[in-house]
Chain A
Amino acid sequence: MFWVIQTLNGISFGMLLFLLAAGLSLIYGLMKILNLTHGSFYLWGGYIGLMVVHSTGSLFLAALLSSLAIAFVGMLMERLLLRRLHLQELPQTLLTFGFLFIFSDLAIFIWGGNPQTMPKPAMFSQSVQLGDFFYPSYRLFIIAFGLLVAALLWWLQEGTRLGAMLRAGVDDEEIARALGINVSLLFTLVFALGAFLAALGGTMGGPIMGVYPGADFEVMLLGFVVVIVGGLGSLKGALVGGLIVGLLDNFGKVFFPEFALFTIFAPMALILAVRPHGLFGRE
């Protein structure tokens, strides 16, 4: 019973990590940008979602609005700034790190330094009985929601014309351009989509994780570990990596509270030693 509960906890957290890592991975796969601002998208998504929840009472509306708002912010960042630094990895690193600083400081300025809790939607505020124990239904919902998003992204990438263009852009940007694919527009769309997913994670994860200063750094690092484990540029990697890291993080916190981070990083080091580009990554 203990194992079932902790495993479900780990999987639901893994789904949130998947939302983050999917964006990181897509962005890197197409434009080779290591987006350090990704954690800020998550945190700001959470804070904006919180404001919407407080005024409308609907978590789902909040998730939609905050994700759209952050997608717009991401779009502006890509169009106005990141585009000038195409394929210059160090300036990109500095730029996205600078925004991580700016967003994190402004969040404290706007919303204060106290952790805040996001109310669960009424529909999922209860626990459900699973066999002979009770489990919060919201966490089960998050697992289903994560799987749904994964399926949608999978369909987007493999089953649509847009996805075909995306894969072409990932494989060979120049040839894709020569074939008349609007790669420049694709860049903006993918960056906005990544921001959207991160903010979605921030809002939907709010009832479980809370919304607090410093979450941006925390989830950014976990997101990177997911991508390192799963492999950059791979959707499958983001999902599998997210689940692995989610479970490791959860059991690590239960069994070795003093070395919580270590239980994630030691397996990561092991995977790196065997597969330097992650489980599903391509060189």
Chain B
Amino acid sequence: MSNLTVRHMPSSSGLATLWSMGVIVLVTLPLILPPYYVGLVVKMMVFALFAMSLDLLLGYAGMPSLGHAAYFGMAAYTTGLLALKAGWTVWLALPAGIAMAALTSVVFGLLALRTRGSYFLMITLALSQVLWGIAFGWRSLTGGDDGLPEVPRPNLSLPWSMSDNTPFYYFVLLFFVVGTLVLVRIVASPFGYVLRGIRESETRMLVLGYNVWRYKLVAFVVAAAFAGLAGCLYVYFNRFVSPDYVHVVRSAEVLLMVILGGAGTLIGPAVGATLIVLLENLISTYTERWVTVLGIIYVLVALLAPNGIAGLIASLRKQRGRP
């Protein structure tokens, strides 16, 4: 696992400049881009948040989940149902969605956290499919295969309607920036360092007196809560939720984003998410066989860049450092 991390990070002030530049770019983008692409950037931000939440688990705590879509989808269904059928406002429906995601992760965590590695992958995958099965089968509540259409966009009683993509963009941007900042803080906190310790050697952390299991459970729940936030934002954006939100294809997709960008770096998975959303969009306009192309991307990433873009950059730097 240790070779997944990138040790050559820019200094923290350099990083802060990078982040603030990123925010400025994101704030100005809707003024330049045509409306369709504004929507595309919203999708990128949502998936970047989703990928960063998995990175906390995979890259920092070393827990490879193949069922992360469970929390994304659980939150999306909760928020979607509450907004659509109970008419809850966003300020109630969104926290409810996140809470349901976190609650689900407590239950799943209790079952999955006793295992590691391949078993953990397999069990998280199987557990997430339980939710898919329910979403698919419980037609009277979830609409089954057809999903729930016409989920309303949030009504913020502002002069700008959230039905337009640009005001909604800023709504998502707010959550994206705050969410990212919180994740960055978590990763840089003592808690974040304990997670890295667990990734490197669980037994050593146990010997040092850390309650490893409890740290892993907290990481699992926090990651699920952020995945839930992404799911809530996505259901408001798409105004639709279907069993696809929970499917293993989505879990694998976010895993690909994290690994493509470079696990254990936060910014890497955000970049990975941006690239994959962009690629999917591009490829699906050019060919009907875009699933095949996506499959080839999976294979290429596995073979050529198992440590992701961040890993490639780090190894390039190392090469340059050596005369």
Contact = CB atoms under 8 A, between A and B. Distances in A.
B92 interface: no
Q: Most B CB atoms within 10 A — which of A88, A257, A262, A276? A: A276
Majority DSSP secondary structure for residues of A touching B: helix
A227 B126 CA distance: 11
A106 interface: yes
B134 interface: yes
Contacts of B115: 276-277
A94 B126 contact: no
Given A91-B306, A98-B297, A105 B118 contact: no
Contacts of B294: 98, 101
A28 interface: yes
Contacts of A85: 302-303, 306
B285 interface: no
Given A34-B121, A97-B252, A101-B298, A259 B133 contact: yes
Given A261-B130, A262-B134, A89 B295 contact: no
Contacts of B66: 93
Interface in A55-107: 81, 84-85, 88-95, 97-106
B117 interface: yes
B139 interface: yes
A91 B1 CA distance: 12
Nearest to A231: B119
Interface size class, chain A = 35 or more
A217 to B, nearest CB: 7
B127 A276 contact: no
A103 B294 CA distance: 12
Contacts of B132: 261
A90 B64 contact: yes
B116 to A, nearest CB: 10
Given A85-B306, A258-B137, A277 B119 contact: yes
A259 B255 contact: no
A217 B296 contact: no
B28 interface: no
A81 B119 CA distance: 23
Given A34-B121, A259-B133, A273-B111, A92 B295 contact: no
Contact of B295 (A90, A102, A225, A228): A102
Interface string B92-132: 00000000000000000011101101110111011101101
Contacts of B252: 93-94, 97
B303 A101 contact: no
A52 to B, nearest CB: 25
Interface in B224-273: 248, 252, 255-256, 259, 263
Contacts of B263: 90
A254 interface: no
B160 interface: no
Contact of A34 (B122, B139, B306): B122
B302 A89 contact: no
A232 interface: yes
B302 A95 contact: yes
Nearest to B136: A261
B137 A260 contact: yes
B174 interface: no
A258 B123 contact: no
B301 interface: yes
6 contacts: A90-B255, A102-B295, A221-B129, A224-B125, A228-B122, A272-B123
Interchain residue pairs A-B with the least CB separation, the first 5: A261-B133, A98-B298, A101-B295, A102-B295, A105-B291
